Amino acid sequence: MLLRNHFPIFEDKIFLNSCSKGALSREVESAYLDYLRDWNDHGSPWELWMEKLSTCRSAFAALINAEPDEVAVTTSVSAAVSALASAFDFAGARHKVVVSDFEFPTVAQVWHAQEHRGAKIIHVPETDGIIPLDRYEATIDEQTAVVSISHACYRHGSRQDPAAIAAIAHRQGALTLLDSYQTLGTMPIDVKALGVDLLVGGALKYLLGSSGLAFLYVRKELISQLQPITTGWFAQEDIFALDITRHKPADSARRFESGTPPVPNLYAATAGITLIQSVGTGKIAAHLQELTGILKEAAHKRNYRLATPKDPERHGALIALRSHRVEELVARLEQEGIIVSSRDGNLRVSPHLYNNGDDIDRLVDRLHAHRELLVR
């Protein structure tokens, strides 16, 4: 249990749904009040708000071992990937986009939207909750522009090896985009060590912020080569030049930004990331491995069927259990004060730094009471 008393929801509930939305901390609540006070006290303090944007950008960059100029701050992963996709020319030899079947719908849908521009989208299928590396070897070729992969699948938590996939892509001259939404804040992520070219993620899940804020990392050597046509005034070299006669994008990853940033969410995201950094992602990862291990062992003893690989190196913070009637199970647990979620016929259980072994034990006890809803 880490910082549990910072999250009021645990006063009367057991929250195990961080893969959908992180629990509200007192710090994030206070950050929103700070925003309202600044607005009220100063009217329109744009210099202050630009400082908040810079602080948030730098905080995220430090979290993934990137430079601030390699990070774009956007309103969602959808916006980030749309801007990124607009920078690719699919009319040439490299017209293929390889997409894993672990993707969250928005990422795959953005790539499929590029079919009108000549892109050919090829899916790498999963089998029994895993995608073997040799399927990437067989799919990625000299016509591939980008390989789009999810670090951990939102449906069942199975985790991929970004470094190995990036190496395969690079041998063919392709770029790699990593969707880290389901892993950010739960484990150390070093974009340089992983060798990924691009990364997206957002604040509302394990980063403990709120919806309305996301990030795009672009390796600095690539920035000048990518010219997005999905853009806005905050993507300009001089934001406040207000020049309507030309488009001159920033020479940093800001060129992937668009309109006015969601200022309230900058306050919240920075507060959430600061909490994560105060504990450390290495310590959080060890804590989550212990909690997920307890749940997997309990499921094994009771013959509940896991949709998540048992090997801790093959999954993220999310553990999924197969269910006959998962929505009914989620509803029953909610009535008993346990907050979880569902996808694809799976019960999704996603602890975070604030959970403890008692939370898992309580969940296991209630799952036993409703065992007729679980696949065995």
CATH class of residue range 27-276: alpha beta
DSSP conformation class of 145: E
Domain ranges of the chain: 4-25+280-373, 27-276
The answer to whether 318 and 157 are in contact (CB under 8 A) is yes
Half-sphere exposure of 76 (CA within 13 A, CB side): 9
Q: What is the pLDDT of residue 199?
A: 98
* Residue 225 CA: distances (Å) to CA of 105, 228, 354: 27, 10, 42
**How far from chain centre, in Å, is Cα 346?**
19
pTM (predicted TM-score): 0.97
For the chain, the C-alpha Rg in angstroms (whole number) is 21
Is residue 186 within 8 A of residue 155, CB to CB? The reply is: no
Encoding tokens for residue 64?
């993934």
Helix/strand/coil for 20: coil
pLDDT, tens digit only, all 376 positions of the chain = 689 999 999 999 999 999 999 999 999 999 999 999 999 999 999 999 999 999 999 999 999 999 999 999 999 999 999 999 999 999 999 999 999 999 999 999 999 999 999 999 999 999 999 999 999 999 999 999 999 999 999 999 999 999 999 999 999 999 999 999 999 999 999 999 999 999 999 999 999 999 999 999 999 999 999 999 999 999 999 999 999 999 999 999 999 999 999 999 999 999 999 999 999 999 999 999 999 999 999 999 999 999 999 999 999 999 999 999 999 999 999 999 999 999 999 999 999 999 999 999 999 999 999 999 999 9
pLDDT of residue 367: 98
Q: Smallest Cα–Cα separation from 217: which of 264, 184, 168?
A: 184
The DSSP output letter for 97 is: E
- Residue 303's alpha-carbon distances to 152, 250, 300, 324, 367, in angstroms, are 24, 56, 5, 14, 12
The predicted structure's pLDDT at residue 2: 82
- CA dihedral defined by 238, 203, 68, 255, rounded to 10 degrees? -40
- The CA distance from 352 to 309, in Å, is 19
Confirm whether 4-25+280-373 and 27-276 share one CATH topology: no
In terms of phi and psi (left: phi > 0; alpha: psi -120 to 50; beta: otherwise), the region of 157 is left
Pick among 3.40.50.80, 3.40.190.10, 3.30.1360.200, 3.90.1150.10: CATH of 4-25+280-373: 3.90.1150.10
